[in-house]
Copies of this chain bind each other. A is one copy, B any other.
Amino acid sequence: MTILDLATKRKTARKFKLIPIKDEDIECILETARQAPSGSNRQPWRFIIVKSPEMKKNIRESAEAGERGFYDNLSPERKVWYNEKGLSPSKPNLTEAPVLIVVVGDTSAPNYKPSLWVSIAYMVLAIEERGLATVTYTPSDPNLVSEALGVPDGLMVESILPIGFSDDPKEKETRFKVSEITFRERWEGN
Protein backbone atom coordinates (compact mmCIF):
# COMPACT_ATOMS: atom_id res chain seq x y z
CA MET A 1 0.00 0.00 0.00
CA THR A 2 1.37 3.43 -0.93
CA ILE A 3 1.56 6.40 1.42
CA LEU A 4 -1.29 7.95 -0.56
CA ASP A 5 -3.43 4.82 -0.08
CA LEU A 6 -2.70 4.73 3.64
CA ALA A 7 -3.30 8.45 4.08
CA THR A 8 -6.58 8.22 2.15
CA LYS A 9 -7.84 5.20 4.06
CA ARG A 10 -6.83 6.54 7.44
CA LYS A 11 -9.38 8.24 9.67
CA THR A 12 -9.24 9.49 13.22
CA ALA A 13 -10.65 7.26 15.97
CA ARG A 14 -11.97 8.66 19.21
CA LYS A 15 -13.36 5.34 20.47
CA PHE A 16 -11.34 2.18 20.99
CA LYS A 17 -12.05 -1.48 21.61
CA LEU A 18 -11.03 -2.73 25.02
CA ILE A 19 -8.53 -5.16 23.49
CA PRO A 20 -4.79 -5.06 24.15
CA ILE A 21 -2.32 -4.40 21.35
CA LYS A 22 1.06 -5.99 20.77
CA ASP A 23 4.25 -4.58 22.24
CA GLU A 24 5.91 -5.05 18.85
CA ASP A 25 3.38 -2.61 17.36
CA ILE A 26 4.37 0.07 19.86
CA GLU A 27 8.05 -0.67 19.24
CA CYS A 28 7.57 -0.30 15.47
CA ILE A 29 5.62 2.95 15.89
CA LEU A 30 8.41 4.47 18.01
CA GLU A 31 11.11 3.17 15.66
CA THR A 32 9.31 5.10 12.93
CA ALA A 33 8.95 8.25 15.04
CA ARG A 34 12.65 8.46 15.83
CA GLN A 35 13.56 8.54 12.13
CA ALA A 36 11.81 11.88 11.56
CA PRO A 37 13.87 14.90 10.52
CA SER A 38 14.14 17.72 13.06
CA GLY A 39 15.49 21.26 13.27
CA SER A 40 19.28 21.09 13.70
CA ASN A 41 18.75 17.33 14.22
CA ARG A 42 17.91 18.08 17.84
CA GLN A 43 15.29 15.30 17.93
CA PRO A 44 13.33 17.19 20.57
CA TRP A 45 10.91 14.30 21.09
CA ARG A 46 10.58 12.09 24.14
CA PHE A 47 7.89 9.46 24.56
CA ILE A 48 6.10 8.02 27.56
CA ILE A 49 4.32 4.73 26.99
CA VAL A 50 1.40 4.47 29.36
CA LYS A 51 -0.49 1.23 29.91
CA SER A 52 -1.41 1.14 33.60
CA PRO A 53 -5.01 1.99 34.49
CA GLU A 54 -3.77 4.21 37.34
CA MET A 55 -1.59 6.42 35.13
CA LYS A 56 -4.21 6.57 32.40
CA LYS A 57 -6.70 7.73 35.01
CA ASN A 58 -4.28 10.41 36.26
CA ILE A 59 -3.66 11.62 32.75
CA ARG A 60 -7.34 11.67 31.89
CA GLU A 61 -8.21 13.63 35.03
CA SER A 62 -5.51 16.24 34.43
CA ALA A 63 -6.49 16.51 30.76
CA GLU A 64 -10.17 16.90 31.58
CA ALA A 65 -9.41 19.58 34.17
CA GLY A 66 -7.62 21.50 31.41
CA GLU A 67 -10.53 20.98 28.99
CA ARG A 68 -13.07 22.24 31.52
CA GLY A 69 -11.04 25.46 31.84
CA PHE A 70 -11.01 25.76 28.05
CA TYR A 71 -14.74 25.10 27.65
CA ASP A 72 -15.67 27.51 30.43
CA ASN A 73 -13.92 30.27 28.47
CA LEU A 74 -15.65 29.57 25.13
CA SER A 75 -18.09 32.11 23.74
CA PRO A 76 -21.72 30.91 23.71
CA GLU A 77 -21.58 30.52 19.88
CA ARG A 78 -18.42 28.40 20.02
CA LYS A 79 -19.95 26.31 22.79
CA VAL A 80 -22.91 25.52 20.49
CA TRP A 81 -20.48 24.57 17.71
CA TYR A 82 -18.52 22.27 20.03
CA ASN A 83 -21.70 20.64 21.30
CA GLU A 84 -22.94 20.06 17.74
CA LYS A 85 -19.66 18.35 16.94
CA GLY A 86 -20.17 16.10 19.95
CA LEU A 87 -17.06 17.54 21.58
CA SER A 88 -16.90 17.95 25.33
CA PRO A 89 -14.33 18.16 28.15
CA SER A 90 -14.78 14.43 28.66
CA LYS A 91 -11.92 12.32 27.26
CA PRO A 92 -12.89 8.68 27.87
CA ASN A 93 -10.49 7.41 25.21
CA LEU A 94 -7.58 8.33 27.49
CA THR A 95 -8.61 5.50 29.79
CA GLU A 96 -10.21 3.17 27.23
CA ALA A 97 -7.35 2.88 24.73
CA PRO A 98 -4.99 0.05 25.70
CA VAL A 99 -1.91 2.24 25.21
CA LEU A 100 -1.20 5.95 25.29
CA ILE A 101 1.93 7.38 23.72
CA VAL A 102 2.55 10.73 25.36
CA VAL A 103 4.74 12.99 23.21
CA VAL A 104 6.92 15.34 25.24
CA GLY A 105 8.85 18.21 23.65
CA ASP A 106 12.17 19.77 24.58
CA THR A 107 11.10 23.40 24.46
CA SER A 108 14.73 24.58 24.29
CA ALA A 109 15.23 23.12 20.81
CA PRO A 110 14.85 25.67 18.00
CA ASN A 111 11.49 25.36 16.27
CA TYR A 112 10.69 22.29 18.31
CA LYS A 113 6.98 22.03 17.54
CA PRO A 114 7.33 21.41 13.80
CA SER A 115 9.82 18.62 14.56
CA LEU A 116 7.48 17.02 17.08
CA TRP A 117 4.57 17.08 14.67
CA VAL A 118 6.57 15.51 11.87
CA SER A 119 7.42 12.62 14.19
CA ILE A 120 3.77 12.44 15.30
CA ALA A 121 2.62 12.26 11.66
CA TYR A 122 5.12 9.45 11.04
CA MET A 123 3.50 7.60 13.95
CA VAL A 124 -0.02 8.29 12.67
CA LEU A 125 0.82 6.53 9.40
CA ALA A 126 2.68 3.66 11.09
CA ILE A 127 -0.32 3.15 13.39
CA GLU A 128 -2.66 2.99 10.38
CA GLU A 129 -0.35 0.58 8.59
CA ARG A 130 -0.51 -1.84 11.52
CA GLY A 131 -4.31 -1.88 11.50
CA LEU A 132 -4.54 0.32 14.57
CA ALA A 133 -6.04 3.76 15.07
CA THR A 134 -5.43 6.96 17.02
CA VAL A 135 -6.33 10.59 17.51
CA THR A 136 -3.66 13.23 18.08
CA TYR A 137 -5.10 14.78 21.20
CA THR A 138 -3.60 18.14 22.14
CA PRO A 139 -4.33 19.02 25.78
CA SER A 140 -5.78 22.48 26.34
CA ASP A 141 -3.57 22.81 29.41
CA PRO A 142 -0.41 20.79 28.79
CA ASN A 143 1.02 21.95 32.11
CA LEU A 144 -1.49 19.90 34.07
CA VAL A 145 -0.73 16.74 32.10
CA SER A 146 3.01 17.35 32.31
CA GLU A 147 2.75 17.63 36.08
CA ALA A 148 0.74 14.40 36.31
CA LEU A 149 3.55 12.61 34.47
CA GLY A 150 6.42 14.22 36.38
CA VAL A 151 7.78 15.97 33.29
CA PRO A 152 10.49 18.42 34.41
CA ASP A 153 10.81 22.12 33.57
CA GLY A 154 11.99 22.83 30.05
CA LEU A 155 9.95 19.96 28.66
CA MET A 156 6.23 19.90 27.96
CA VAL A 157 3.59 17.43 26.89
CA GLU A 158 2.68 18.31 23.30
CA SER A 159 0.22 15.58 22.42
CA ILE A 160 -1.21 12.29 23.61
CA LEU A 161 -1.91 9.48 21.15
CA PRO A 162 -4.38 6.90 22.47
CA ILE A 163 -3.72 3.80 20.38
CA GLY A 164 -5.87 0.74 19.86
CA PHE A 165 -8.30 -0.96 17.54
CA SER A 166 -10.89 1.54 16.36
CA ASP A 167 -14.41 1.26 17.68
CA ASP A 168 -15.41 4.55 16.08
CA PRO A 169 -18.11 4.21 13.41
CA LYS A 170 -17.79 7.84 12.29
CA GLU A 171 -16.98 8.36 8.62
CA LYS A 172 -13.82 10.16 7.62
CA GLU A 173 -14.48 13.88 7.37
CA THR A 174 -14.39 15.27 3.85
CA ARG A 175 -11.34 17.05 2.54
CA PHE A 176 -10.84 19.92 0.10
CA LYS A 177 -9.78 18.85 -3.37
CA VAL A 178 -6.21 19.62 -4.41
CA SER A 179 -7.55 22.12 -6.96
CA GLU A 180 -9.34 24.02 -4.19
CA ILE A 181 -6.23 24.55 -2.08
CA THR A 182 -3.46 24.91 -4.64
CA PHE A 183 -2.13 27.90 -6.54
CA ARG A 184 0.50 28.14 -9.26
CA GLU A 185 3.54 30.38 -9.03
CA ARG A 186 1.89 32.83 -6.61
CA TRP A 187 -1.17 33.34 -4.43
CA GLU A 188 -4.30 33.23 -6.57
CA GLY A 189 -2.24 32.09 -9.52
CA ASN A 190 -3.47 29.15 -11.54
Contacts and interface: CB of A to CB of B under 8 A. Distances in A.
Contacts of A63: none
State the main secondary structure of chain A at its contact with B.
mixed
A91 interface: no
How many subunits of this chain does the assembly comprise? Answer: 2
A20 interface: no
A89 to B, nearest CB: 16
A165 interface: no
A60 B150 CA distance: 44
Given A181-B34, A183-B48, A118 B114 contact: no
A114 B136 contact: yes
Interface in A120-164: 120-122, 124-126, 129, 135-136, 138, 149-152, 155, 159
Interface of A: 2-4, 6-8, 10, 12, 27-28, 30-32, 34-37, 39-41, 43, 45-52, 55, 85, 104, 111, 113-114, 117-122, 124-126, 129, 135-136, 138, 149-152, 155, 159, 173, 175-178, 181-189
